[in-house]
Amino acid sequence: MRKCPQGNETVTSDCPTPECRFRASAALRKDWRTAENEAVLARTLLTGWGVILLGVILAVPPQIAAGAHQPAPRPHAIPPSGLRVDINHATADELMKVPGMTRTWAGRIVRFRPYRSKLDLIDRGVVTSRVYDRIKDYVIAHRPGQ
């Protein structure tokens, strides 16, 4: 140990002179870099990287991780045109037989007639595009007089 400039036996952080306090703190900083502290630091870093890697692995969906492709959606059976419901002539109760149709949407379809094609349902704001996607294969628009 070094001798304090004020005559104390050793340099400590309790010494009133800035030079002694600086030397004492420098000695503590040197003591910090021991083999035990290096091992703790390495273990902490390794654990941190392990947690990050585990989080990334768990965040990936199993289908992607396995390299499996999602199957294409199966097309539903489209009824022949003779079995489709005519939006220009059907009653609200007949329209209710269409899968995905609600009483409110059926009432709007009846109220805003006539239609040149089933796309008029979207163009004129009678139904939303989501509703149209559900019912488009089950409806048809025969023009009045046909």
Q: Model pTM?
A: 0.47
Check if the beta carbon of residue 56 is closer than 8 Å to that of residue 63.
no
In angstroms, rounded to a whole number, what is the distance separating the alpha carbons of residues 110 and 127?
Answer: 12
pLDDT digits (tens, 9 = 90+) for 18-69: 666 666 666 555 555 666 777 888 888 889 888 888 888 888 776 665 555 5
**Tens-digit pLDDT profile for residues 96-126:** 999 889 999 999 999 999 999 999 999 999 9
| H or E segment and range at residue 104 | helix 103-111
User: What is the chain's alpha carbon radius of gyration, rounded to the nearest angstrom?
Assistant: 40
Q: Measure the CA–CA gap between 98 and 92, rounded to whole angstroms.
A: 10
For position 59, what pLDDT does the model report? 81
Give residue limits of the domains in the chain. Answer: 81-140
Distances (CA, A) of 86 to 8, 48, 64: 106, 64, 44
Domain 81-140 in CATH 3.40.50.300: no
Residue with the larger pLDDT of the pair 68 and 95: 95
Under 8 Å between Cβ of 88 and 114:
yes
